[in-house]
Amino acid sequence: MAGKTLKIVVLGGSGFIGAHVLRALSGRADVDLHWVRRHATPSPDIDGLPAPVLIEDLEAVDIKWLSDADVIVDLVSRGRGRMVQTRDINLRIRPHLRIIDGLINAGSRAHYILLSSGGAVYGTTSEAVIHETHLCSPQTEYGLEKAIVEMHLQAAAQTTLEATILRVTNAYGLGQPIKPGFGVIPTMVSAMDTGTPFRVFGSGEMQRDYVNVIDVRGAIEAAIKVGGSGIVNIGTGQGTSINDLIALVQELSGRELALEFVESGTEPGFAQLDTTRAREVLGWTPTISLHDGVREILEAAGLARA
């Protein structure tokens, strides 16, 4: 795709990852940037960012306008939760399918990049390492939403559309909101800042793969450059337990974190995402260690050890 100006449309640009993507693309001479947000959501504070296309809901996106994009980056997500019910299907899944079907009917040749979720789409598994060909078994509403949209997009990629599906592990970094379901790290840092107890469910040995948002942004930029790449796992390949994360935050801040242990049922196991395809197809590898990423967050909060 080198040598031309790309019309790139970002859906979900006002979110945590979206703001980082817009910051990277804004002002690039080779990018004609457009982005869409709902009226109810604020715009990120980015110098030179073009005005958004305002909509009431994702279903209001103009397919004709969207169809002549070179690249569509779909970062839309409506949170996590229980298994899908009829109302949720209408609210979460149908708008994506409408867009994909509309692009097919318009003969669009856009490269559609979908940000998905490795942990939520794969579900629980006995495998230690998960490749992109692994069976998907989502067990939450969020995971099922992503899996259905993924399958529809893969079918669409047999037409004129190109598709890349990035199955990301647990993204974290500067700007991540502090609210349930949106990241343990900002919740932990907020608890330290306010002196409120941080709740540890179960033994604290549950592991997750934390990948910095700057590296997630880098994977999206790599996908834009390479073109349709199919399904690609994005993560560090390293699991970190809640207990180890607590120890890291305490070490880097020089403070004790108040803890409240809460009994929990069976703790899910940890499966490492194999990121060989990301390296071979996208030329992508993570660049920011968890140590450095957490230190940056603590510094921004004024909590880092002097």
Q: Which domains does the chain have, with CATH numbers?
A: 6-171+212-236+271-287 (3.40.50.720), 173-207+239-270+293-300 (3.90.25.10)
Q: What angle do CA 270, 274, 279 make, to 5 degrees?
A: 145
In 72-157, where does DSSP find H-type helix?
86-88, 94-105, 118-122, 141-156
Determine the 3-state secondary structure of 55 from DSSP: strand
DSSP 258: P
Rounded to the nearest 5°, which phi and psi values hold at 6? -95, 130
Which two tokens mark 264?
A: 């929990």
Q: Which is nearest to 188 in space by CA: 81, 298, 80? A: 298
Residues 298 and 189: their CA atoms lie apart, in Å, by 7
Regarding pTM above 0.85, the answer is: yes
CB 48 within 8 A of CB 26: yes
From the list 62, 12, 20, the residue with the least C-alpha distance to 36 is 12
CA distance 163 to 178: 32
Q: What is the pLDDT of residue 3?
A: 67
pLDDT for 181 equals: 61
| Residue 89: predicted pLDDT | 64
pLDDT in tens, the chain (306 residues): 456 899 999 999 889 999 999 999 998 999 999 999 887 777 888 988 999 999 988 889 999 999 999 999 999 976 554 545 555 666 778 999 999 999 999 999 999 999 999 888 998 888 889 999 999 988 888 888 899 999 999 999 999 999 999 999 999 999 998 876 678 999 999 999 999 999 999 999 989 999 999 999 999 999 999 999 999 999 999 999 999 999 999 999 999 999 999 988 766 677 899 999 999 999 999 999 999 999 999 999 999 998
Angle at 35 between CA 32 and CA 39, to 5 degrees: 150
Give Cα separations from 191 to 100, 243, 256, 298 (angstroms): 41, 15, 11, 12
Going 39 to 44 to 45 to 51, the CA torsion angle's sign is negative
Please count the residues of the chain: 306
In angstroms, the first-to-last Cα distance of the chain is: 46
How many angstroms separate the CA atoms of 233 and 279, rounded? 10
Q: How far apart are alpha carbons 17 and 22 in whole angstroms?
A: 9
Bridge-based pairing of strands 198-201 and 272-273 is unpaired
Q: What 3-state DSSP class applies to 162?
A: strand
Please give the backbone phi and psi of residue 231, each rounded to the nearest 5 degrees, phi first. -90, 130
Q: What is the pLDDT of residue 61?
A: 93
Task: Tell me which residue has tokens 């992503």.
Answer: 146
List residues bridging with 34 in a β-sheet: 9
Which H/E stretch holds residue 199?
Answer: strand 198-201
